[in-house]
């Protein structure tokens, strides 16, 4: 039999890890001296130690390794474990490549402009939500407040409970920029279920992946923010995949000072096929 130190040298596994392997049940010593507590291993256990290290090198965690070792002689089961791990690593590689592209573009923007377009663009998923909604054609974007007025007036008797978080946003349904007669929908996320009123419709909105930028100040900045988000989408291998919308974090409902407005410009996106292939 081998003392733990000798087995450590032969297996190239530290004594600390051998003790841990014993604790979690993947490599027990063949004998433990109950008087001294010394652990003893057999040369016959070296192949098992080698398997454990090989599986660790493949990226498997110890809990999975314990499961694999129980089925090590089953070739089909081993192939299943390896295929799953390969898929996981390929997904991780794609994510890593995406982060590298984000870093490269951030560096490029910094070198060109001294900042990242003045706005931080991020990729996120807006979760599934239940909303109260009003959609109408209004004279211009400046008249959006009419829609919020209708929503608040018609839902006041319902004593709605705000969503958590509570998203208040406007979706712009026109396929082009228009100065008048614009098709706008306002939404507020709520908890519970409610019956439709004359103009307010209640519905569940699916989750959506978006590229977005948050800015503080008046709505006059919208053109610059749109440019920053559009450039990010192009540079990072995405394409537009739906109607743009704005989330109002601090709106005229909370403050009359335009400098205190906080707005998030959002564009639904999906990965471009050429980006996925690369």
Question: What CATH code is carried by the domain that includes residue 269?
Answer: 3.20.80.10
Q: Are residues 131 and 234 in the same domain?
A: yes
Which residues of the chain register pLDDT less than 70?
102, 105-106, 108-118, 275-278
Q: Are residues 125 and 108 in the same domain?
A: no
CATH of the domain at 9: 1.10.1660.10
Q: Are residues 134 and 106 in the same domain?
A: no
Q: Are residues 133 and 264 in the same domain?
A: yes
Q: Are residues 150 and 182 in the same domain?
A: yes
Q: Are residues 50 and 136 in the same domain?
A: no
Q: Are residues 235 and 179 in the same domain?
A: yes
Helices (H), 114-236: 145-155, 222-235
Domain count, the chain: 3
Q: Report whether the peptide linkage leading into residue 197 is cis, meaning its omega lies within 30 degrees of zero.
A: no
170 with 248: CB under 8 angstroms? Answer: yes
Q: Are residues 140 and 16 in the same domain?
A: no
Q: Are residues 160 and 90 in the same domain?
A: no
Q: Are residues 88 and 156 in the same domain?
A: no
> Domain range for residue 146?
121-277
Specify the pLDDT at position 258: 86
Angle (nearest 5°) at CA 259 between 258 and 265:
80
Specify the pLDDT at position 119: 77
Encoding tokens for residue 55?
Answer: 């599986």
Specify the pLDDT at position 100: 81
Specify the pLDDT at position 261: 92
Burial of 269 from C-beta contacts in 10 A (0-12 / 13-18 / 19+)? buried
Distance CA 50, CA 72 (A): 13
Q: Are residues 105 and 130 in the same domain?
A: no
Q: Are residues 267 and 135 in the same domain?
A: yes
């Amino acid at each position: 039999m081998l003392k733990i130190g000798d087995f450590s040298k032969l297996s190239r596994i530290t004594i600390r890890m051998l003790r841990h392997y014993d604790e979690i049940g993947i490599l027990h010593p063949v004998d433990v001296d109950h008087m001294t507590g010394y652990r003893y291993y057999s040369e016959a256990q070296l192949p098992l130690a080698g398997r454990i290290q090989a599986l660790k090198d493949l990226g498997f965690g110890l809990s999975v390794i314990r499961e694999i070792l129980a089925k090590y002689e089953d070739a089909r089961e081993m192939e299943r474990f390896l295929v799953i791990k390969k898929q996981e690593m390929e997904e991780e590689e794609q994510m890593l490549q995406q982060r590298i592209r984000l870093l490269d573009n951030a560096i490029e923007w910094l070198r060109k402009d001294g900042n990242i377009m003045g706005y931080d663009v991020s990729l996120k998923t807006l979760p599934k939500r239940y909303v109260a909604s009003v959609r109408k054609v209004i004279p211009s974007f400046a008249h959006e407040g009419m829609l919020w007025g209708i929503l608040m007036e018609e839902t006041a008797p319902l004593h709605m409970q705000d969503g958590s978080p509570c998203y208040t946003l406007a979706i712009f349904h026109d396929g082009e920029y228009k100065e008048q007669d614009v098709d706008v929908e306002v939404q507020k996320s709520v908890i519970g279920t409610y019956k439709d009123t004359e103009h307010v419709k209640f519905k569940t909105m699916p989750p959506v992946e978006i590229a977005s930028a948050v800015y503080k100040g008046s709505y006059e900045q919208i053109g610059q923010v749109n440019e920053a988000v559009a450039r990010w989408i192009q540079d990072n291998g995405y394409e537009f995949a739906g109607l743009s919308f704005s989330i109002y974090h601090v709106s005229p409902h909370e403050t009359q000072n335009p400098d205190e407005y906080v707005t998030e410009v959002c564009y639904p996106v999906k990965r471009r096929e050429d980006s996925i292939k690369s």
